[in-house]
Amino acid sequence: MYQSISKTLLGTATALAFVASAAVAEDWRAWNIHNDGHPNTAAMDRFAELVAEKTGGEVTVEVFHGGVLGTQPDALEQVQLGAIDIGNFNLGPIGPIVKEANLVSLPFIFRDVDHMFRVMDGPAGDQVAAAMGEAGLLPIGWFDAGARSFYNNTGPINSPDDVAGMKIRVMNNDLFTGMVNAMGGNGTPMAFSEVYQSLSTGVVDGAENNLPSFQSVGHFEVAGYYSMSEHLIIPECICVNTAKFGALSEDMQAAIVAAAEEASVFQRELWAEQTAASREAVETAGVKINEIADKGPFQDAMAPVYADYLAANPSMAELVELAQSTE
């Protein structure tokens, strides 16, 4: 799908190239929320190296780690405007901007990570990618972000009743607030950078994330119970400002897509290793991890979330069915 987007933009790109003269180098600023030690930081550094190499230095990428260029919702807006050029984004906070992207933020929509990638590599994923590109956030590579599970400081979560009464931090998206509220909890959107302190001071009782992120920002130090609910399997992208990408020559576009694909393969390898390593590290630090024998009650609790969502977004029904029926 994004092949056709880039082809459409190519006409404009070629016209601009004559005006701008071919020798002008492009220096891109990239947003990354993670710090050193997180797989996405290593993958974004690798991406920058690959871009320089494959474009012969015509395009360079400077990656700003640790969210120093702003919160994720702000950074997404900046990429849409072209004030930041590119970044590694989770599709969760993209849902409020691009309706189709919310497909992946429906709790339990995917059976596992492999199923998610099959959907994203198929026609449903093409529709999501096309809509993102039209909104100015063109995905050129997909990262693995595993599955998100709940963690808190009170005790293990085994059923939705254990979530009831808890204030749980979620990423910025009404679907996530609705998800926690449907279990009787209080879903609280908050910037990632504020979660550690909020957990340690009791502003929230818990949060939810994958194991590498739970470990890398130290949330395991202030939340001793991690319960494998795996309620959200949300991919991440390398997303570039669509117009900037479209203004490059076809060769440069191909070089950048190749760099993103190679960096994504690297990220997925690192991800698998880091998930196992993070699990071991947090358990060694004393975190109690529990498997959830029956996730059925969590899935059943999501019925009103789906019903409300589809009532408000009837045009998404087809895409939801397409994802669910993907083998």
The identity of residue 148, as a single letter, is R
Q: HEC string of the chain? A: CHHHHHHHHHHHHHHHHHHHCCCCCEEEEEECCCCCCCHHHHHHHHHHHHHHHHCCCCEEEEEECCCCCCCHHHHHHHHHHCCCCEEEEECHHHCCCCHHHHHHHCCCCCCCHHHHHHHHCCHHHHHHHHHHHHCCEEEEEEECCCCEEEEECCCCCCCHHHHCCCEEEECCCHHHHHHHHCCCCEEEECCHHHHHHHHHHCCCCEEEECHHHHHHCCHHHHCCEEEEEEEECCCEEEEEEHHHHHCCCHHHHHHHHHHHHHHHHHHHHHHHHHHHHHHHHHHHCCCEEEECCCCHHHHHHCHHHHHHHHHHCHHHHHHHHHHHHCC
User: Does position 44 bind ligand BDP by CB under 6 A?
Assistant: no
Question: Shortest approach of ligand BDP to residue 295 CB, angstroms?
Answer: 20
50, 145, 233, 319: residue in contact with ligand BDP (rule CB under 6 A): 145
Q: How far is the CB of 294 from ligand BDP (least distance, A)?
A: 26
Contact flag: residue 210 with ligand BDP (CB under 6 A): yes
Smaller CB distance to ligand BDP: residue 210 or 274?
A: 210
Return the residue of 51, 109, 166, 171 that touches ligand BDP, per CB under 6 A.
171
- Measured from the CB atom, the residue of 138 and 171 that comes closer to ligand BDP is 171
Q: Select the span of 4-12, 150-158, 207-215, 292-300 touching ligand BDP (CB under 6 A).
A: 207-215
Please list every residue from 187 through 206 that binds ligand BDP, using CB under 6 A.
192
Shortest separation between residue 13's beta carbon and ligand BDP, angstroms:
29
Q: Could you say which residues in the range 230-289 bind ligand BDP, by CB under 6 A? A: 236
Neighbours of 185 (CB within 10 A): 24
Q: Which is nearer to ligand BDP, 110 or 192 (CB)?
A: 192
Q: Determine if 76 is a binding residue for ligand BDP (CB under 6 A).
A: no
Q: CB-wise, 150 or 192, nearer to ligand BDP?
A: 192
Touching ligand BDP, residues 23-42 (CB under 6 A)? 33
Q: How far is the CB of 107 from ligand BDP (least distance, A)?
A: 15
| 72 binds ligand BDP, rule: CB under 6 A | yes
From 2-10, 120-128, 209-217, 281-289, span contacting ligand BDP (CB under 6 A): 209-217
Q: Is 209 in the site for ligand BDP (CB under 6 A)?
A: yes
Nearest distance in Å: CB 214, ligand BDP: 8
Among 41, 55, 78, 90, interactor with ligand BDP by CB under 6 A: 90
Count other Cβ atoms within 10 Å, centred on residue 238: 29
182 vs 207, which CB is nearer to ligand BDP?
Answer: 207
User: What distance in Å separates the CA atoms of residue 90 and residue 125, rounded to the nearest whole number?
Assistant: 15
Q: Are the beta carbons of 140 and 257 closer than 8 angstroms?
A: yes
Q: Which residues bind ligand BDP (CB under 6 A)?
A: 33, 72, 90, 145, 171, 192, 209-210, 213, 236
